[in-house]
Structure 1
Amino acid sequence: MPKLFVKNGNVIDVASDTIYQASILIEGERIAKIYTSPDQMPFSENGIPTINAAGKWILPGLIDMHVHIKESYAPLFVAAGVTTVRNTGGNVLELMNLIEAPGNAPTPRVYSADRIIDGPPGLWGETSPWNINIDEPSAARAEVIRQVEAGADLIKVYGWLSREVMEAVVDEAKKHRKEVSCDLIHSTSVNAIDAAKIGVKWNEHASGIIQAMYPEWNMKADKDVWEKVNWLEPEREKITEVCSQLSELGVILCPTMVLYDQMDHLPNHWEPERNSFTNNSLDAQWENLSQRKDALKRTGIQSTLNKAIAKIYFELGGTVVAGTDTPAGVWTYPGMALHRELELLVEAGFSEIDALRAATLFAAQAMGRPELGVIKEEALADIVLLNSNPLDTIRNTQDIDLVIKGGRAFSQEELFDSVPTEEEARAAYEKFLKSFQDGVYAR
């Protein structure tokens, strides 16, 4: 079994909010032993590959809890220290290479939904490999069963789904022990409280909360209704009233602040210091979308309210996890957008350690994956070595020295080099489309 020794680093224990010096023995894909004193080590380092982590900070691999990943840019997540992603809409057949990749592959672990279940005519158009429009409960149940058989880890519903059909989705998902996630940004009939009472466990983008606070408002509302919403001075009492109910119902909130923030700040959007976290197709996609400035600003105006909702929900004891919606919206850089999300959590009033927990410990717990998001014995050896202490300033999460995924150490340059070429990405895409059209749905 391959071994790796990480020596004399400053381990950040996200569970206890402490930092201690230790050395970590990795065997295979897992942390075998943590030594807090040289006297504890009953072995010689000779023959074991060793990383000198003196002066470095050791953080669990980060988890982006809301992405729409593709093979064409998957290694960029790991290059940013994001070793696990929760894919909240796509197609599990398209992602099978990532889902079934070895634990030490240069791509993140993928926990994934299949195609989005929406109501007609569908926010994203006609039914496709990535979305399906349904208006009958029986059809919704059949689609849930198909997705479970295909290998979906969760079910995703959109805001144009009717209440009756959403109820059918949740009921069928429960039979198969699958949780349901919702995006209600564009909903006109089901708000966040409605969805939670139906049994939807995950709320993406803090969506449907504004509709619950201001029942007349939705994305299609008239200008005078929009003007009644306090976008820049959030009404704490209204937020608390809604969030208290969601917390009591056990909803997990993924606010995706960076999605709103990037749109709100156009044309002066945030960028990472390195320009390696993108590719030509993503740049073209974002550049094209950025021309629709008025529409983007219409969504981006929700940014301040979104941050207030996340902070109040956390204060009330609700679970808040960090996600980005990469590559949706504009310039949501794979991997690096999560670092911006951490900054925005701190701007919203979270402490540095709680921001980190939202992308490690809390995220792993919410997914029921105790082997992720922590540095402890028997945990998966997904580790980020930082040059600076992120508890001093959250921006230090971006100061990455090395990433270890499943016990294998990677430099950022190695990960950038492992990004598929455009030709390879196109070939994989065309192979998937043919397989889907031929009716190959299940694992």
Structure 2
Amino acid sequence: MLTRRWHHGGGASFSYLEPYSNQERHMARGLGMLSRRLVTLAAILTAACASDDANRIVLLGATVIDGAGGAPIHNAVVVINGSSIEAIGPAGEVPVPGGAQEIDLTGRWIIPGLIDADARAESWAMTRFLAYGITAIRDLRSDTESVMAISQLTERKEVSGPRIYFTGTPVGDPQSGAALSARDARRVVDGNSVAGVDYIGVAEGVTLTVLRAVVDESRSFQLPVVASLGLMDAVTAADAGVRSIVGLSGVPQAAAGSSAPFYAAFRQGFYRGWGYAERSWSRLRAGTLDRIAGQLADANVSLTPTLIMHETAANLDDPSQLERPAPGAIPAEVASGWDSRALLRERAWSARDLRAFRQGRPVQDRFVAQFKSRGGVVAVGSGSPAPYLVPGASLHSELQLLVRAGFTPMDALMAATSGNAAVLEADSLGILMPGRVADLIILTADPLQDIRNTRAIESVMVRGELLLAEAVRAGWSSP
């Protein structure tokens, strides 16, 4: 089965004076999908040619963790044909094709490529994601034109990088000045949909009235809505039709006695609102949070908590607690903006604020565990790249934080692979099985024994191309 989107062939961004009629919506969406399907067809034909040349790779002897919760397959045989997995199973049960390239991986572990459900597609970050085993990302913040350009380059293999799923410019993004009225919101949805986005994004500046218009318009294009909330609580957003909520946004508004102070703070600026919400966690009642967790789970909304973002904010005054990039992982011009003291001044966060942030961190962890125990879907995202959130590396930190919150290593791995694939509606990703794409990671240590072993990356395969992690890192001097 093909991924719903792994192409983005030739869609262009249009602006319209008026929202579409229903007929125009379907015609426009159809044109965008047609161009994307043509690119996919070309990819299939290319893969078929490779298959005719018997260009197969066989991985031998490793322990395979399939990402779906199945028992590990010891001494496995994995047959890669082009960009897909052709066969997988124990040695002796899966024949090795004659003439195939055989790679002995005895003493290694193979897991699906990791998916980052909250990331940004910066051109310099693409190889960083790959070196850390991130083979797909969901971008919720980049403007439509720039993210489409990067996506097209990676899909054509002109630039090495993960698959990119994206919202394009979100509605209500305070930094872009995007739509804040219902009428303008529909225009943004229409333009992004025709351009070929995978989801519609909603940012902190959106009110309930605008959200209802966004959800209504998005349904015309059969696109799910992903939200980062500020002027709305999470339960209300889920009831209105939001399918995915990031950063635990809107949860404090739902659990507090009054949401008005949160909204007033967000209207004064993003960091003022975010800081107010972050300080509130330590004061929220456990019983109320448990009720909110159940309501969100029952609403079938996924949560991407991005705990590493909260952890980083809480420790901006303590450099020893912040992510330390590997040499070359962050370009010098980017790293120059990673000044914790300057960030604290810019965000007007005091030492007292940070103490409150730290007091709230265990509460956030417990809420995520409660949501999971109620049957809620927890997606895994890093919020990178951003100050002290390193592309690729921060997703591994997120896995460690989820385990600290009560996940088993298997739970965390499944959430970052098959679970994230389901949240992204990318049904060919996230599980190692015949017919799925050949996106995988080769490790030198067992991640089920210690989740930190997901960092022990020897090689990464994306779209059937096997890359040595060391070789990818060697190219970090250029995007």
TM-score of the superposition, structure 1-length normalised? 0.85
Secondary structure of the residue that 2:145 maps to in structure 1?
coil
| 1:17 and 1:353 in contact (8 A); partners too | no
For residues 84-233 of structure 1, the aligned pairs below 5 Å read 84-100=136-152, 101-102=154-155, 106-118=160-172, 123-124=174-175, 131-184=176-229, 187=230, 189-214=231-256, 215-216=258-259, 217-218=261-262, 231-232=281-282
Pick aligned residue for 1:317 from 375, 394, 400: 375
The alpha-carbon deviation at position 133 of structure 1 amounts to: 3.0
- What does residue 81 of structure 2 align with? 27
Secondary structure of the residue that 1:391 maps to in structure 2?
coil
- Higher helix share goes to which structure? 2
- What does residue 57 of structure 2 align with? 4
| Distance in 1 separating the partners of 2:168 and 2:177 | 10
| 1:261 and 1:303 in contact (8 A); partners too | yes
| Distance in 1 separating the partners of 2:328 and 2:278 | 42
The alpha-carbon deviation at position 38 of structure 1 amounts to: 3.3
AA paired with 2:395?
Answer: L
The alpha-carbon deviation at position 256 of structure 1 amounts to: 0.3
| 2:383 and 2:389 in contact (8 A); partners too | yes
- What does residue 117 of structure 2 align with? 65
The alpha-carbon deviation at position 148 of structure 1 amounts to: 0.7
> CA 1:24–1:407 in 2, change beyond 3 Å: closer, same or farther?
same
The alpha-carbon deviation at position 337 of structure 1 amounts to: 0.3
- What does residue 364 of structure 2 align with? 306
What RMSD over aligned residues (CA atoms) do the two structures have, in Å? 2.6
AA paired with 2:291?
Answer: E
Secondary structure of the residue that 1:369 maps to in structure 2?
coil
| Distance in 2 separating the partners of 1:174 and 1:132 | 24
| 2:130 and 2:161 in contact (8 A); partners too | yes
1:387 aligns with 2:444: yes
Secondary structure of the residue that 1:169 maps to in structure 2?
helix
- What does residue 15 of structure 2 align with? none
| 1:352 and 1:394 in contact (8 A); partners too | yes
The alpha-carbon deviation at position 377 of structure 1 amounts to: 0.6
Secondary structure of the residue that 2:137 maps to in structure 1?
strand
The alpha-carbon deviation at position 258 of structure 1 amounts to: 0.3
| Distance in 2 separating the partners of 1:15 and 1:115 | 32
63-72 or 274-283, larger mean C-alpha shift:
274-283
- What does residue 363 of structure 1 align with? 420
| Distance in 1 separating the partners of 2:193 and 2:420 | 22
- What does residue 56 of structure 1 align with? 108
| Distance in 2 separating the partners of 1:135 and 1:112 | 21
Pick aligned residue for 1:335 from 375, 392, 402: 392
- What does residue 301 of structure 2 align with? 251
1:401 aligns with 2:454: no
- Higher strand share goes to which structure? 1
Superposed CA deviations along residues 386-422 of structure 1, whole A, max 9, x for unmatched, are 111011010010111111111111112322344473x
| 2:253 and 2:277 in contact (8 A); partners too | no
AA paired with 1:358?
Answer: A
- What does residue 326 of structure 1 align with? 384
Pick aligned residue for 1:260 from 305, 310, 314: 310
| Distance in 1 separating the partners of 2:329 and 2:476 | 10
| Distance in 1 separating the partners of 2:221 and 2:417 | 27
The alpha-carbon deviation at position 310 of structure 1 amounts to: 1.2
For residues 278-297 of structure 1, the aligned pairs below 5 Å read 278-287=330-339, 290-292=343-345, 295=349
Is there any run of 5+ residues in structure 2 with no aligned partner, and where? 1-49, 266-271
Superposed CA deviations along residues 211-248 of structure 1, whole A, max 9, x for unmatched, are 1111245275599x979977448632111111211111
The alpha-carbon deviation at position 333 of structure 1 amounts to: 0.3
Superposed CA deviations along residues 322-353 of structure 1, whole A, max 9, x for unmatched, are 0011123x310000100000000001111111
> CA 1:210–1:34 in 2, change beyond 3 Å: closer, same or farther?
same
Secondary structure of the residue that 2:128 maps to in structure 1?
helix
AA paired with 1:70?
Answer: E
Secondary structure of the residue that 2:62 maps to in structure 1?
strand
| Distance in 2 separating the partners of 1:109 and 1:394 | 24
> CA 1:39–1:362 in 2, change beyond 3 Å: closer, same or farther?
closer
The alpha-carbon deviation at position 174 of structure 1 amounts to: 0.9
AA paired with 1:262?
Answer: T
Question: Percent same amino acid at aligned positions?
Answer: 26
| Distance in 2 separating the partners of 1:376 and 1:228 | 41
| Distance in 2 separating the partners of 1:226 and 1:181 | 22
TM-score of the superposition, structure 2-length normalised? 0.79
354-363 or 411-420, larger mean C-alpha shift:
411-420
> CA 1:169–1:231 in 2, change beyond 3 Å: closer, same or farther?
closer
| 2:117 and 2:424 in contact (8 A); partners too | no
